[in-house]
Amino acid sequence: MRSCKDRRVKILARVVVTGMFSVCVASAIMAQGTPAGPPPGAGPPANINPRGEDRVRRTSEVRLRSAEMDASEESENQKRIQVAITNMKQDFTRLQIVRNDIARNLVAHKPMDYRLITEQTAEINRRAHRLSVYMVAQAAGDAEQESPSAFKSEEMIDALVKLCKLIDSFTENPALKNAAAVDAKLVEKVKEDKARADGDLRAIIKLSENIHKKSDSLKDPK
């Protein structure tokens, strides 16, 4: 009886083992027959939107061009600044040189060379005009120094002396000499100095123009 029972248990165990094995084999076959996805390089290509890629490319190009334009504009600004600084230095120096030439002739009591005075005052006027643009010279209003719109030939010496003094006042102005080292406590003083420099510069422009016209009318024609 017991041997019969043991035999039935062994048969049942073999059936269970065989069934489990069959299930495992079937699972393996099914896994191989129905893969989760195509292997690399197999199957249909991915759906790519050409408009999307083109939009991204255009955006990148616009950003790159914008960065290049900004860099180019900054470079041009720096060049313009350097040119302005160079011109201001030249104008400032030439004002003093021409002023000294006029003063030497006056001190030496040389006869009036109206052709030379015409050239000198033309250069002073041109350079003072350009400096006024760079400095953004403001009108001095009531404080602006008046210069005669017309004068007689015998007044030429006095007009030239006044022009020399105006150039001295302008070139020696602390607002121009100490522009790179301004104390915050002296801001109001700097503003006053700058206003005076603007007034001197505008007076130089006006007086040099008047002297130029008068000397041009008095010079001997060639």
Tell me the domains of the chain and their CATH numbers.
75-218 (1.20.1440)
How far is it, in rounded angstroms, from Cα 124 to Cα 207? Answer: 10
Kindly tell me if the per-residue pLDDT of 28 is higher than 70: no
Residue 115: count other Cβ atoms within 10 Å of its Cβ: 15
Judged by DSSP in three states, 106 sits in: helix
The predicted model scores a pTM of 0.62
The least confident of 121-130, 155-164, 211-220 is: 211-220
What DSSP designation does 45 have?
Answer: P
How far is it, in rounded angstroms, from Cα 135 to Cα 48? Answer: 60
In the chain the first and final C-alpha atoms are separated, in Å, by 156
The least confident of 21-35, 45-59, 79-93, 206-220 is: 21-35
Q: Which residues contact 91 (CB under 8 A, 6 or more apart)?
A: 127, 128, 130, 131
In single-letter form, the type of residue at position 121 comes to T
Q: Higher confidence at residue 44 or residue 189?
A: 189
What is the average pLDDT value for the chain, to the nearest integer?
Answer: 74
Q: Are 111 and 215 in contact (CB under 8 A)?
A: no
Name the percent of the chain lying above pLDDT 90.
37
pLDDT at 187: 67
The least confident of 7-16, 61-70, 145-154, 159-168 is: 7-16
Residue 157: count other Cβ atoms within 10 Å of its Cβ: 12
What residue spans of the chain are helical by DSSP H?
2-33, 50-107, 114-135, 156-171, 174-177, 187-218
Q: Are 197 and 174 in contact (CB under 8 A)?
A: no
CA-to-CA separations, 149 to 87, 99, 211, in angstroms, rounded = 29, 21, 9
How far is it, in rounded angstroms, from Cα 47 to Cα 182? Answer: 67
Phi/psi at 147 (nearest 5 deg)?
Answer: -130, 145
83 confidence band (pLDDT: 50, 70, 90): confident
